[in-house]
Chain A
Amino acid sequence: MNPMNETTRQDWIDGIRVMAPLLPGAIPFGMIAGVVASNAGLDALAGIGQSVVIFAGASQLASTQLIADAAPVLVVILTGLVINLRFAMYSAALAGHLAALPRGRRWLVSYLMTDQSYALSVLRYAARPEMSLAAKYAFYMGGAAVMWIVWLAATAAGYFLGNSIPASWSLDFFVPLSFLALIVPAIRDRANAAAALTGGAVAVLAWSLPFNLGLFLAAISGVAAGYAVERLMPQSRENS
């Protein structure tokens, strides 16, 4: 093995090593995605296959819940995508580092993009500006690949576990619970608190609108409220 490959191998290992502490947080979400899919009546191929095709936890949970509620298919699709709009932001941040890769590798980077792989890589690239393109790719892929394997295994385990649990256990409650677990610790400033409170309140007020339009109205109102608070009270910003 030539010295160049030795270097990248260390970057793969580093990528896996920094991702490892974040994996236990992903396992319950993956299992719940599987449990909820089986309780919503999805067959095994669709229930586990959505982890391969979509590979985005919050989006999978929200769309599965809407499928269980028999929402119109367009609403299911739009909701699943709105939650993933943040990936465009990650794509912009990673582009400066990884856009020079050949197409196959670029697509793999895009397909495997998660909140975790984005955050770890951007931090690492900023801390070590001397990293080569090959090293950046190896570091990203080490963490991203191990996250993919864990996510798939957790969804499959959850799916088969969920199949043996009766509906009276109210396992669908895991959807709002896991979203609470995600979002409550992430609300660290007034602007995000305003976004969450407005989003929740508008969702209730607009509940009776057809086609789940209330959800989109709530999302837009929440974002507008967060943006307004940040503009009017810039001191509320803690990070950045």
Chain B
Amino acid sequence: MDAQTVWLAIVAIGIGTFALRACFIELGGRFTLPAPVTQALRFLPAAVLSAIIVPAVLRGEAGSLYFGIDNPRLIASVVATLIAWKTKSVLATLAVGMGTLWILQAAL
């Protein structure tokens, strides 16, 4: 992707994000989101982030998905998930996950 297209993406996301942040404040607090929408938005982070995580973890060298248990990214992610669940610590999750990946890549 050339530099101009990268900037197009950054500026478009920036403007759109500002619009999302400003929308109801600019409407003067007279309007609110309908309850079902607020309820549904509560599940958006879990759904979207999971949909980004799983393919990124399973992606093999050739660009296709790879489920083998000798996939170092898969094993490192399982370990990182356990750490995140048990410790709730961002730093511990990053350190253990990355460390596991490096050890497996060196070993396999």
Q: Which residues of A contact B (CB under 8 A)?
A: 25, 28-29, 32, 42-43, 46, 49-50, 53-56, 58-59, 62-63, 65, 67, 70, 73, 76-77, 80-92, 94-100, 106-107, 109-111, 113, 169-170, 173-187, 191-193, 195-204, 207, 214-215, 218-223, 225-227, 230
Q: How far is the CA of A46 from the CA of B14 in the complex (A)?
A: 12
B24, B39, B77, B97: most-surrounded residue (chain A CB, <10 A): B24
**What residue of chain A has the Cβ atom nearest to residue B67's Cβ?**
A204
- Residue from the list A76, A81, A220, A225 in contact with B17, Cβ < 8 A: A81
Q: Is the beta-carbon distance between A181 and B90 smaller than 8 angstroms?
A: yes
A200, A201, A221: most-surrounded residue (chain B CB, <10 A): A200
Interface membership of B62, Cβ < 8 A = no
Q: How far is the CA of A99 from the CA of B13 in the complex (A)?
A: 24
Q: Is the beta-carbon distance between B22 and A181 smaller than 8 angstroms?
A: no
B7, B9, B32, B52: most-surrounded residue (chain A CB, <10 A): B52
Tell me, rounded to whole Å, the shortest Cβ–Cβ distance linking B97 to chain A: 4
Q: Is the beta-carbon distance between B44 and A54 smaller than 8 angstroms?
A: no
Given pairs A179-B52, A215-B51, 14 additional interface contacts (CB within 8 A): A28-B94, A53-B14, A58-B49, A63-B13, A81-B13, A88-B20, A109-B25, A169-B102, A177-B76, A180-B97, A182-B90, A183-B53, A199-B51, A219-B44
* Given the contacts A174-B94, A184-B84, A192 and B46 also touching, CB distance less than 8 Å: yes
Q: How far is the CA of A227 from the CA of B102 in the complex (A)?
A: 38
B35-75 interface mask toward A, CB cutoff 8 Å, 1 = contact, 0 = none?
01011111111111111111111100000010000000100
Q: How far is the CA of A91 from the CA of B7 in the complex (A)?
A: 26
- Number of B interface residues at 8 Å Cβ cutoff, please give it: 69
Q: Which residues of B contact A (CB under 8 A)?
A: 1, 3, 5-14, 16-18, 20-29, 31-33, 36, 38-58, 65, 73, 76-77, 80-81, 84-85, 88-91, 93-94, 97-98, 101-102, 105
Tell me, rounded to whole Å, the shortest Cβ–Cβ distance linking B84 to chain A: 4
Q: How far is the CA of A36 from the CA of B21 in the complex (A)?
A: 25
Q: How far is the CA of A87 from the CA of B14 in the complex (A)?
A: 13
Q: How far is the CA of A88 from the CA of B98 in the complex (A)?
A: 34
Q: Which residues in B have their C-beta under 8 angstroms from that of A203?
A: 50-52, 54-55
Q: Is the beta-carbon distance between A180 and B77 smaller than 8 angstroms?
A: yes
Tell me, rounded to whole Å, the shortest Cβ–Cβ distance linking A239 to chain B: 9
